[in-house]
Amino acid sequence: MNRAFRLLSGVCILLLGLQLSGCIVIENEFSGLPPGPWRAVLELEPNMVTPNPKGEPLPEKVNFEFEEVTNGELPFNMEVVYDNPDSFHIVIINGEERITVDDITIGLDRATAKDTLIIRFPVYDSYIKAIYEEDILEGEWIVENRGEPYSIPFLAKHGQDHRFTTLRKDPVMDISGRWSVTFGVEEGAESYPAIGEFQQDGNHLTGTFLTETGDYRYLQGSVQADKVYLSTFDGSHAFMFEAKIRPDSSMLGSFRSGEHFRTLWEARRAPDAELRHPDELTKLKEGYETINFSFPNPEGETISLSDPQYQGKPVIVQLMGTWCPNCRDESVFLRDYLEQHPDQKLEVIALAFERYKEQDKAMDAIRTYKQQLGLEYEILLAGSSDKAAAAEALPMLNRVYSYPTMVMLGADGKVQRIHTGFAGPATQQYAEFKKDFNTFIEKLLRQAPEN
């Protein structure tokens, strides 16, 4: 937390843009939350393995239960850390990932007359609002940028550091390694391939799923007998995976994204599993050699790729959204690369496709995103997050397959490469991507004319 809790009685904290019921009034001096570990859960609707989208039962695939856990709970871990006696921050834990959150307000909610905590994730336009009583937080996680009310009940208890369960059932096998995965295996669903990368140590499990549009970031969970559990929460996405290890050593499971999406998946061990190359998915239409555009930035200026700043130099055009965690990973990567190579004549410009329909809210989201991540390059509002609308904004492309996508242009203005998706730091491919990116950019720079 960036401020002490000692505020004058009756001061109202106005939370602009957060449609909260009631105002938080600081009437007392708070010492904050108890330090140390907290176990949090998002309470999804029960029955994790469900019928297909058409509502037709799938008895051959839903005839198993996950008795080791409470149905409908997506767990994650937090730690409260005090910077000094009057100020604390929260660390959200997903495997190796540590997300520091310091935009926190604590006080008395007039609507409930109870001590209330608000934890904001400003990059993603979401927040947790919870009543604090003794060692329990109870409230909801609210996402603002979906265009319609979206919230999931939230509960956290102090002093608990397990994720899914405290049980220690002997696993039937070690699932460490690489797996070929298909999501959407139920009838009527749209299927897509993925690669599962898992690291198991006894009951403890970490890993991720890599798809052709990006990865599911840092997952953490447990293996209990023949059951597999994984989850992550980062302020934007809440993912939960459950699976059963079958007698033939394959896996069948369910995947939940918040309370709005669910599907079934199957996996088989495949050390050599591969996806289509990221450079093979998005292409220029026949007859085009480059792209061009003109879109506004948050300062009200119209910026074009044809502006003098972007002429005679290699340029990376990043198609992204402020709501997208994979885009955030890519933005941080590009920021760090530019900071580490300050003398390179390389330009980056981002086109944001936002969930907000209102231009002022979308611009605010872009402005906050740039500030929070410390980005120096332009981010322009290019349109709606709908991929069909994005394709209309860039008609030179065959399609916009994924956020993020990088369009790489040489100094001559011609497109040299289009990289779809982003294999982030949670994946084994990340180190390979960085090496390949460095080599390719150096090649583009060598081909650029001397000024």
List, for residues 123-174, the tens digit of each pLDDT value. Answer: 888 999 999 988 999 999 999 887 777 899 999 999 999 999 999 999 999 9
pLDDT of residue 31: 57
Q: Alpha-carbon distance 97 to 368, whole Å?
A: 22
**What architecture (CATH level 2) is domain 177-269?**
Beta Barrel (2.40)
Residue 165 Cα distances to 44, 162, 199, 221, 293, angstroms: 17, 6, 18, 9, 52
Nearest to 6 by CA among 34, 26, 24, 33: 26
Query: Which H or E run contains 327?
Result: helix 325-340
pLDDT of residue 451: 56
Q: Alpha-carbon distance 221 to 49, whole Å?
A: 18
List the structure tokens of 118: 């608000």
Positions in the chain whose pLDDT score sits under 70: 1-31, 46-66, 451
- pTM, whole model, 2 decimals? 0.85
CA-CA-CA-CA torsion for 222, 93, 153, 58, nearest 10 degrees?
Answer: -30
Q: Alpha-carbon distance 272 to 403, whole Å?
A: 26
Fold of 278-447: Glutaredoxin (3.40.30)
Which residues of the chain form CATH 2.40.128.120? 177-269
Q: Alpha-carbon distance 408 to 418, whole Å?
A: 6
Q: Alpha-carbon distance 300 to 320, whole Å?
A: 19
**What architecture (CATH level 2) is domain 11-158?**
Beta Barrel (2.40)
Which residues of the chain form CATH 3.40.30.10? 278-447
List the structure tokens of 372: 């929070």
Nearest to 242 by CA among 256, 229, 232, 233: 229
